[in-house]
Amino acid sequence: MERGDFFVHFMDSTENELVKKVAFISKEKLSGNLEVAIEQSSTNSDPFSSEILCDITSFTLLEQISALWSLKEHGHMNILKHS
């Protein structure tokens, strides 16, 4: 999974879907493209590949990163303490 080749394939295969307005994006298409991207990459042999999921949220990436940093600053996320 560390090579990230599945992510590049996923982004290439979902480009047409991701340029749509959020209300018109098909979560099923995204999930299907993600499955195919994983199957066709080195991630397929990773024991945690079945844990990779996609979702559509109402938060921007910046908002999500800010929330994670806020949790880190308050010591609520032990996983982030290692970075």
Domain containing 11 equals: 1-52
**In terms of pLDDT, which residue wins out, 24 or 60?**
24
Let me know whether 43 and 77 are in one domain: no
For residue 54, pLDDT over 90 is answered with no
**In terms of pLDDT, which residue wins out, 74 or 49?**
49
Q: Which two tokens stand for residue 46?
A: 């990773």
Let me know whether 7 and 46 are in one domain: yes
Contacts 24+ apart (CB under 8 A), 49-54: 49/1, 49/6, 52/1, 52/6, 54/10, 54/27, 54/30
**C-beta of residue 33 within 8 angstroms of C-beta of residue 14:** yes
**In terms of pLDDT, which residue wins out, 57 or 1?**
57
Q: Is the pTM of this model over 0.75?
A: no
* Domain count across the chain: 2
Of 65, 13, 64, give the one whose Cα is nearest residue 36: 13
